[in-house]
Amino acid sequence: MVIMAKNLTVRNSNKIKENRLFNTINVIALAIISIVCFIPFLNVLSVALSTAGNEINFTPKGFTLFNFQYVLSDVGFWRAMGVSFLVVVCGTILSVTVMFAAAYALSKPNFPARKGIMVFFIIVMIFSGGMVPNYLVVSALGLTKTPLALILPSVVQVYNLILIRSYLEGLPLELEESASIDGANNLQIMFKILLPMSMPCVASVSLFTAVTLWNNYTSALLYLGTEEKWYPLSLYILNYIQLPPDTLSVAMKDLQKDNIEAAMIVVSIIPILLVYPLVLKYFTKGVTVGAVKG
């Protein structure tokens, strides 16, 4: 008995040592990964704070605020940011409301043609007419060159519909039933009872939609053509990045472009950084809910 106990403690202490080593290596490795993940941000910030023509290694050289001043005094940049905000706010409210309403109806197990309607939406998720047909429809509706082209084609978000529907299916029915006995109509039930009760889900879906709309530039690329006054921030910056180098004849100008580009990028990610704590709170939850419910 004594020997066995002794063996066990030796084994235990070896195990503890091994686990401690594992944990140490793990912490160090993750610290390195986090730094590698973070360094590109630091670098772009440094370029934005540097004078042109310097070799930048993660820290500013020839510190200057000129690039930020340039970007912040660029009317086009502010207009593009305004368009992006407009599209994100209107697009998110419209899309989430429309998807929530549909999810409400489809969350009823006996809703007529429920399965068929779900298939109808899933087809949207997995097949598309393609760029040219999409463009022709938007164009025939007279939406090209207007910000509506950035909002209306993105209203249907099938994944959100599925997420909201499974959330609503999990809610207790009593409140809804007692409200309908009290004479509330479906619209009142949706806005006054279901929406407040689904806040965690609605918040994560809204953030999901807002981030998608903020980042998307394909719609603008396809539907806005040369109507630059409605370019959202993403496309505005992309156009700046893709300015052919040969249009900038002087080498110094070309170099300055990199620094201004970096400043644009830093300013443009500020809104995302501001909502990021919220995103972390809700978004990851929403994703895991989705992953579990499949």
Partner 1 sequence: MSTKKQKMTFGAKVKKYKSLIPFVIPAMMFALVFSYLPMTGILIAFKDNPNFLRYDVLTAFQKSEWTLENFRILFSDPEILSYIRNTLIISVMKIVILFPLPIILAVMITELRSKKFSKLVQGIVFLPHFFSWVVIVGIFNSIFGMYGPINNLSVALGGEAIHFMGEPGWFRWLVVILSGWKEIGYSSIAYIAAIMSIDPALYEAAKIDGAGKMKQIWSITIPSIMPTIIVMLIIRIGYLMDAGFEQVYAMLNSLTRETGEIIGTYVYRLGFSMGKSNYGLSTAVGLFNGVISLILILSANYFSKKKTGNGVW
Site for partner 1 in 248-277 (CB under 8 A): 255, 258, 261-262, 264-265, 268-269, 272, 276
Region from 49-57, 69-77, 168-176, 195-203 binding partner 1, contact rule CB under 8 A: 49-57
Tokens of 8: 């066990």
- With binding defined as CB under 8 A, does residue 175 bind partner 1? no
Q: Which stretch binds partner 1 (CB under 8 A): 11-19, 71-79, 85-93, 166-174?
A: 11-19
* Least gap, CB of 242 to partner 1 (angstroms): 7
CA 205 to CA 157: how far, in whole Å? Answer: 10
- Residues 153-172, interacting with partner 1 (CB under 8 A): 153, 155-156, 161-162
Q: Which residue, 65 or 137, is less far from partner 1 as judged by CB?
A: 137
User: Least separation, in Å, of the C-beta of 211 and partner 1?
Assistant: 5
Of 26 and 178, nearer to partner 1 (C-beta) is 26
Query: Closest separation between CB of residue 229 and partner 1, Å?
Result: 19
Comparison of 78 and 101: residue with beta carbon closer to partner 1? 101
- x-or-dash pattern for partner 1, window 91-130, by CB under 8 A? -------xx-xx-xxx-x-xxxx---xx-xxxxxxxxxxx
* Distance, CA of 209 to CA of 221 (rounded, Å): 19
List binders of partner 1 among 204-243 (CB under 8 A).
211, 214-218, 221-222, 234-235, 237-238, 241-242
